[in-house]
Amino acid sequence: MLGIPLKYNVRNLFVRKVTTTLTVLGIALVVAVFLCVMALGEGLTNVFAASGSEKNVLVLRQNSQSELQSGLGRDQIPLIRALPGIEKDSDGKPLVSAELVVVLNLDKRDGGSSNVTIRGVEEKGMALRPQMKLTEGRTFVPGTSEVIVAEGVAKRFKGAELGQEIRFGAYRWKVVGHFDAGGTAPDSEIWTDSEGMLNTFQRGGFSSVLARTTDRAARDLFVAGVAGDARLALEGKSERAYYDAQTSTAAPIKFLGFFVGIVMAIGACFGAMNTMYAAVSSRTREIATLRALGFSRLSILVSFVLESIALAFLGGVVGCALAFLLVKVALSGVTGTTNFATFAEVVFAFRLTPQLLLTGILFSLVMGFFGGLFPAARAAFTKITAALRQVG
Amino acid sequence: MAEPLIRIENVVKQYTRDTQVLTVLDGLSLEVEKGDFVALMGPSGSGKTTLLNLIAGIDRPTSGRILVGADEVSAMSEGALARWRSENVGFIFQLYNLVPVLTAFENVELPLLLTRLSKAERKKQAETALAVVALSDRLDHYPRQLSGGQEQRVAIARAIATDPALLVADEPTGDLDSKSGEEILVLLERLHSEFGKTIVMVTHDPKAAARAHRLVHLDKGVLKEDVRAKGEKGEIGVAAAAAIAAGR
């Protein structure tokens, strides 16, 4: 035994072109806005989530929340290097980089200024971050005030083109290369060598040490080694865990996305409901006929809920397309926001993942379901005898 | 006398409007034989459509019993009644009540979706029903592409698609010109004589009533007159129907 065929509902949607179009557009806008805000959150999360490697351990001063708050003396570095568990590079040298992080306020191209992270690294700094690639120029020569700049930063800040100079106060850095870090944290940074930076900024020590361990057991060994040496007063955490903690920047944006999305969705639900109520009342006699023919209340209910869901599905698809276009065309460039943990700009791109698109579609289906439920119930409980006589 | 298909026993139907109780059927009893063609006549408000709805199982009496075959329609639950209708009753309405977004074929197939028939069997049965009403060449037409008479023939095909024993018709010619109306009446007569359908038809039209073999005249919710055509296959005749319609 079959229910009322779905083509009955789909064709009815196409019969009332104007109301269907308007409702679909309403739902599409809600889905598009929701997806754009979520894509923003997703982009931010990605910066941090993709940044950390499970095998990399970041050594910071005990209880430091970020590299900026941390400090390590020069004398501590050899002790860290000597700890067991560190992987060796192909050249036999340990994969360790003592790094200095400074946040500078640089002028933006479009006026105003913003904080940018300058990171001094050692020789193995790039090898520790395999996702990093030079896209232009060459890497810096240690001790020469040369820097390489992330592409996202180069696009947004003055003097960051190849061959130009970045100025801050009395400091001058020559830009010799651009790099791409595949959407991870260094995409918001400027890099130079750490020794040179210690001199330039007259610092007595580093901010952090990044070390690659051979495997999980080695990592635990290394972390225990850092904690176990009382002279160090340091702690090691996996790079992944460190960046996960920084992902909190994305949380309020995602919350906003859900909040705005849900408020708008309730509005769109009423839109769908209105459309479906109108559909039900204009088809009262038809519904009564279906009931008279022997279709049960349940099959009428299901039929009209499905019609509403089909309507919302169209809206969801259009909304996804709209969001896709928006992200690809209008929001395609990188953009920046302040990381509330380090107060430096984080450069990121909107990320509209397949999962997000699927969420958008599901979101529209939920709207369709709730929008259709009450009108469908009205249809299902139509009194046959009275409705059969309705003209029109 | 043939066995009765429909037995209506002391049926009362009341509606409550605000505080006022309106009695539409007032203790009516009636039997309709299997294979009969009955016209229900009477002035507006006489209760003829209400009676038809009760027989067809789309409404329930306030008191009394209605039996169709062995089934006590008046005692069935809502769900059971819907199933019963899909198996036992074919509906013909004044305004055809076709589903506008479905083709003639799809409209006729609609009640067959409630059966256990396969797709191929449904197709065969729907096409047969449309052949009976001489619309085999209009399978893919939508109702708006058909004339009123054709629409009503599609509706009749839909009513007979599941081969129910009972056909109920509410003013089947009420919205048609006299030529189309005549065609519909000829068709109903054929369904009755050739296919042995029991037909109960509400009508105002003496010409339609004249085709019936029995004429039940209601007034103010009670049976006023019950006229049976003389002879085995005879019809009521226009003169008699007109006289009854005029309330003589």
| Same structural domain, A90 and A148 | yes
Q: Which pLDDT score is estimated for B33?
A: 94
Q: What is the rounded distance in angstroms from the CA atom of residue A253 to the CA atom of residue A259?
A: 10
Residue B237's domain comprises 4-245
> A210-232 pLDDT, tens per residue?
999 988 889 989 998 888 887 77
Question: How many Cα atoms occupy the beta-carbon half-sphere of B111 within 13 Å?
Answer: 31
Between positions 284 and 323 of A, the ones with CB within 8 A of B are 285-286, 289-297
B28 in Cβ contact with B6 (< 8 Å): no
Residue B33 backbone dihedrals phi, psi, to 5 degrees: -75, 155
Q: What is the rounded distance in angstroms from the CA atom of residue B140 to the CA atom of residue B136?
A: 9
Q: What is the rounded distance in angstroms from the CA atom of residue A264 to the CA atom of residue A259?
A: 9
Q: What is the rounded distance in angstroms from the CA atom of residue B35 to the CA atom of residue B198?
A: 4
Asked if the Cβ–Cβ distance from B113 to A294 is below 8 Å, we say: no
Helix runs in B73-138, H state only = 78-88, 104-109, 119-132
Q: What amino acid occupies position B62? A: T
| Same structural domain, A34 and A115 | no
Q: Across the A/B interface, how many CB contacts are shorter than 8 Å?
A: 74
- Give B115's contacts in chain A (Cβ within 8 Å): 1
Task: For residue B80, give how far its alpha carbon lies from the nearest alpha carbon of chain A (Å).
Answer: 9
Q: What is the rounded distance in angstroms from the CA atom of residue B66 to the CA atom of residue A63?
A: 85
Dihedral, B206, B212, B213, B217 alpha carbons, nearest 10? -50
Q: What is the rounded distance in angstroms from the CA atom of residue B193 to the CA atom of residue B17?
A: 42
Q: Which pLDDT score is estimated for A155?
A: 87
A127 in Cβ contact with A90 (< 8 Å): no
| Same structural domain, A300 and A323 | yes
Last residue of some domain: A200, A232, A264?
Answer: A232
pLDDT of B1 > 60? The answer is no
Token pair of B152 as six digits: 């009503």
Residue B185: band (very low, low, confident or very high) from pLDDT cuts 50, 70, 90: very high
- Does residue A4 sit at the B interface (CB-CB below 8 Å)? yes
pLDDT of A239 > 60? The answer is yes
Task: For residue A361, give how far its alpha carbon lies from the nearest alpha carbon of chain B (Å).
Answer: 27
* Burial of B86: CB neighbours in 10 Å, binned 0-12, 13-18, 19+: buried
Q: Which pLDDT score is estimated for A334?
A: 58
Between positions 15 and 54 of A, the ones with CB within 8 A of B are 15
CB atoms within 10 A of CB B192: 20
Q: What is the mean pLDDT of residues B155-167?
A: 96
Task: For residue A5, give how far its alpha carbon lies from the nearest alpha carbon of chain B (Å).
Answer: 8
B191 in Cβ contact with B197 (< 8 Å): yes
- Give B53's contacts in chain A (Cβ within 8 Å): 384-385
Q: What is the rounded distance in angstroms from the CA atom of residue B72 to the CA atom of residue B56?
A: 12
Token pair of A366 as six digits: 């939920």
Where do we find the tokens 């830009």?
Answer: A175
Asked if the Cβ–Cβ distance from B56 to A291 is below 8 Å, we say: no
Residue A109's domain comprises 63-232
Task: For residue B183, give how far its alpha carbon lies from the nearest alpha carbon of chain A (Å).
Answer: 23
| Same structural domain, A159 and A226 | yes
Token pair of A121 as six digits: 């690294």
A276 in a structural domain: yes
Task: For residue B171, give how far its alpha carbon lies from the nearest alpha carbon of chain A (Å).
Answer: 11
> A306-330 pLDDT, tens per residue?
999 999 999 999 999 999 998 887 7
- Does residue A109 sit at the B interface (CB-CB below 8 Å)? no
User: In terms of CA atoms, which chain A residue is nearest residue B84?
Assistant: A294
User: In terms of CA atoms, which chain B residue is nearest residue A297?
Assistant: B79
Q: What is the rounded distance in angstroms from the CA atom of residue A295 to the CA atom of residue A287?
A: 9
| Same structural domain, A104 and A140 | yes
Task: For residue A377, give how far its alpha carbon lies from the nearest alpha carbon of chain B (Å).
Answer: 16
Q: What is the rounded distance in angstroms from the CA atom of residue B90 to the CA atom of residue B73?
A: 15
Residue among B87, B93, B114 whose CB faces A388 most closely: B93
The total number of structural domains that make up chain B: 1
Last residue of some domain: A162, A197, A232?
Answer: A232
Residues sharing a CB contact under 8 Å with residue A13, sequence separation 6 or more, in sequence order: A20, A307, A310, A311, A314
Q: Which pLDDT score is estimated for A2?
A: 73
Asked if the Cβ–Cβ distance from A291 to B116 is below 8 Å, we say: no
User: In terms of CA atoms, which chain B residue is nearest residue A12?
Assistant: B101
Asked if the Cβ–Cβ distance from B113 to A297 is below 8 Å, we say: no
In sequence order, what DSSP letters do the residues of B188-205 get, joined into one string?
A: HHHHHHTT--EEEEE-S-
| Same structural domain, A176 and A300 | no
Residue among B53, B85, B106 whose CB faces A294 most closely: B85
User: Minimal CA–CA distance to B130: which of B113, B116, B110?
Assistant: B110
DSSP, collapsed to helix, strand or coil, labels residue A346 as: strand
Residues sharing a CB contact under 8 Å with residue A32, sequence separation 6 or more, in sequence order: A319, A320, A322, A323, A326
Q: What is the rounded distance in angstroms from the CA atom of residue B153 to the CA atom of residue B232?
A: 27
Q: What is the rounded distance in angstroms from the CA atom of residue B58 to the CA atom of residue A185?
A: 70
The total number of structural domains that make up chain A: 2
| Same structural domain, A110 and A203 | yes
| Same structural domain, A45 and A126 | no
| Same structural domain, A139 and A175 | yes
User: In terms of CA atoms, which chain A residue is nearest residue B51?
Assistant: A385
pLDDT of A134 > 80? The answer is yes
In sequence order, what DSSP letters do the residues of B132-195 get, joined into one string?
A: HTT-GGGTT--GGGS-HHHHHHHHHHHHHTT--SEEEEESTTTTS-HHHHHHHHHHHHHHHHTT
**ipTM reported for the complex, 2 dp:** 0.92
Last residue of some domain: A232, A261, A284?
Answer: A232
User: Sign of dihedral through CA atoms A195, A200, A202, A203?
Assistant: negative
Q: Which pLDDT score is estimated for A374?
A: 93
Beta bridge partners of A99: A208
pLDDT of B87 > 70? The answer is yes
User: In terms of CA atoms, which chain B residue is nearest residue A287?
Assistant: B99
Question: How many Cα atoms occupy the beta-carbon half-sphere of B20 within 13 Å?
Answer: 4
| Same structural domain, A93 and A184 | yes
Residue B78 backbone dihedrals phi, psi, to 5 degrees: -55, -50
The domain that contains B13 carries what CATH number?
3.40.50.300
Residue A344: band (very low, low, confident or very high) from pLDDT cuts 50, 70, 90: low
A55 in a structural domain: no
User: In terms of CA atoms, which chain A residue is nearest residue B86?
Assistant: A294
Question: Which of A16-25, A337-346, B136-145, B232-241 has maximum average pLDDT?
Answer: B136-145
A237 in a structural domain: no
Task: Give me the sheet containing B71-72, strands edge to edge.
Answer: B20-33, B4-17, B63-68, B71-72
Higher pLDDT residue, B17 or B93? B93
A125 in a structural domain: yes
Angle A132-A133-A137 from CA coordinates, rounded to 5°: 135
Residue B196: band (very low, low, confident or very high) from pLDDT cuts 50, 70, 90: very high
User: Minimal CA–CA distance to A36: which of A332, A327, A335?
Assistant: A327
Beta bridge partners of A336: A347
- Does residue A282 sit at the B interface (CB-CB below 8 Å)? no
Q: What is the mean pLDDT of residues B82-87?
A: 94
Q: What is the mean pLDDT of residues A340-360?
A: 75
DSSP, collapsed to helix, strand or coil, labels residue A337 as: strand
| Same structural domain, A323 and A362 | yes
User: Minimal CA–CA distance to A24: which of A326, A321, A327?
Assistant: A321
Residues sharing a CB contact under 8 Å with residue B224, sequence separation 6 or more, in sequence order: B42, B217, B218
Task: For residue A318, give how far its alpha carbon lies from the nearest alpha carbon of chain B (Å).
Answer: 24
A337 in a structural domain: yes
Q: What is the rounded distance in angstroms from the CA atom of residue A187 to the CA atom of residue A196?
A: 21
Q: Which pLDDT score is estimated for A43?
A: 77
- Give B83's contacts in chain A (Cβ within 8 Å): 294, 296
CA distance readout (Å), B112 to A70, B7, B127: 77, 27, 12
pLDDT of B232 > 60? The answer is no
Question: How many Cα atoms occupy the beta-carbon half-sphere of A350 within 13 Å?
Answer: 21
Higher pLDDT residue, A372 or A69? A372
A291 in Cβ contact with A301 (< 8 Å): no
User: Minimal CA–CA distance to B59: which of B45, B76, B41?
Assistant: B76
Residue A391: band (very low, low, confident or very high) from pLDDT cuts 50, 70, 90: low
| Same structural domain, A84 and A44 | no
